[in-house]
Structure 1
């Protein structure tokens, strides 16, 4: 399967990507399993921080990576050095007629803060909108994960629901926020006209790759 570096279809763009998305290699699954137990990852994406058996974690990621192309995808995120730095998955498109894709993203504990998650999201939004024909995209985010909330809000995601006291951290309850965006609007929100070069029609929106 070819790796994904997807600009808007039919447009000439300046490339700012430092990552690619592809099916995980066998050696990636133990890495994902370890990350799933790491508090730097688990705190932002899991309901609890309890340790899970690594074989169970690995089975989860194999399931997520095995999503059928009609339903979604599961990709490892690789940087320009070929290192696996994260994982992104989408699912739910084959359920009903609404074409609402559920989306989830993690970045490894040693690779956070470099814009890898933001770039992976940018590419994934394009695939969901243009190739898989999603109508809407939905994410569930822990209320205390302000970095993720900001990243999705920048792309036009709005809060549509809130699961009250669904997470507990250090004895304190937190909500899970459900955010949704129209797929085409989410893609358009990440691009802007290039004022410096008439031959290049679009460039990534300023600062769009700074936040995980």
Structure 2
């Protein structure tokens, strides 16, 4: 993971053709995609010259990090190890990209691992602790979201959830959930319900 070169991409496709200002898609948000390549992240972003330029000028606005958890007898230990590595990767990119305001962990356990409860609990603790650390160490207000995916995760719907999250300023500083909780609704709705 440490040796991987991150990619910066846009979270949505740019508007094309002639449309009124009201109907145009919002301008792309430069997203730094790093970590493990996950099938569910395949629809998230589109390469273009503006995105590459944002990476070169250290202007990413969000970091999305893919974390694959292999099928293992020690799933709890594997999750903790992979989250620690992801945490270090994110901290490295935060120093280089001062405009980042969203960090999204996408955790994909192999299907043989059963219920994602352990992964969500560990992810929730990680995003909460990481949020507090970033505020203290970097002096930045960053929203950190964690999503534990499954074999049922729709890449198109996940793209919508992540893009919507990046374009908002959530009330909560950190939130972790499973794909099942957000499959049919926005992350903001699920996070607001969790706060109640």
- Determine which structure has the larger strand proportion and give its number: 1
- State the TM-score, normalizing by the size of structure 1: 0.32
- Determine which structure has the larger helix proportion and give its number: 2
